Every structure is written in C-alpha cells, then in structure tokens.
Amino acid sequence: MNDKITVGIADMKMAKGSGILITYALGSCIGLCFQDPALHLGALLHVMLPMNMEAGRKNAFKYADTGIRETVRQMTSQGALKSRITVKIAGGAKMFEVKGGGLGNIGQRNIESVHTILRQEGIRLLAENVGGTVARTLLFDVASGQGCIKSYGRQDILF
C-alpha cells in the first residue's frame, strides 16, 4: 500500500504517476480531486469558504475561487492541459441544525461557489457527493482517478 499524502484544511497537494491523497473530516468544507488523466497528475484541494474577500490574501487554498484557480495554475505549470482536467467533489455538509441563528449554511454556499467557479473556468465536473449532514474523509488515487468517501457509521462510497 502506498503511503498516503495528507492534505490539511485550506491546503492542496499534488502527486504525479501514482499516490493516494487524503483529506480528513470534510464538514462544510469541500474537497476537490483534480486529475489530468493523460499525465496521471492529480491534486486534492481542501477549501473552507466560498469566496476570497480577505484583504491580505495570504492563503489562496482557503477559498473556493482562488483555490481552484491556483490549483489549475500549478497543474498546468506541471504540463497539464486545462481542457483535459477533470474534477470530482465531496463535502458541503451541514453539521449542525441551528434554528434562529445567523450561522447560515456555509456548506451550501461552498457547493454553489465551487459549481460557479468550475463553470467559469471550463473544468469538467465528473462526479459529486455533496450536502447532507455527515462529515466525509476523502481519498483520491491519482493514477486511476478513483475517489473514495468514508463517513462515520456508513459504508464507503466509491466515486
């Protein structure tokens, strides 16, 4: 079994040829598995928020908009073709049902923002497993493009 490469929160890791990328416990956050199948180049991005409105813009990977663009930029600089890049997404759950609070549904806003940015950038969304109320751990096999979602008390989902 290959060693897994862990992707933290507001983080992105790339692997070429072979490798398993993993990110743990996606709640309202979204995990995006990018792949250029021709190069077996894959990237796993873990974004937390829909839009980058921060003045300093220190961490691009925290946000869906800047995170997706930065990941695609780094992949193309490794030789990937933007038109070949595909993506699978998971996450965007609502962990707590808070009544009457101003918490909003960050998960849902994240999903919508990811969809919008992918459409703007012309990146093909192959599969998604989003929403709901359970946390997901996401594994991504760079070589095959296979994704796997593990949740507490549920069967693993391959996608």
Which H or E run contains 147?
strand 147-150
Nearest CB to other proteins, comparing residues 54 and 156? 54
> Active-site residue 29, yes or no?
yes
> Which residues bind to other proteins, rule: CB under 8 A?
8-11, 24-29, 48-49, 53-54, 58-59, 62, 93, 95-103, 106, 133-135, 137, 152-153
Candidates 29, 68, 93, 142; catalytic one: 29
Cβ-based nearer residue to other proteins, 3 or 97: 97
Assign 3-class secondary structure to 47-96: ECECCCCCCCCCCHHHEHHHHHHHHHHHHHHCCCCHHHCEEEEEECCCCC
Check if the beta carbon of residue 143 is closer than 8 Å to that of residue 130.
no
- Is the CB of 116 or the CB of 137 nearer to other proteins? 137
Measured distance CA(135)–CA(89) in Å, rounded:
14
Q: How far is the CB of 157 from other proteins (least distance, A)?
A: 15
Which residues are the active-site residues? 29
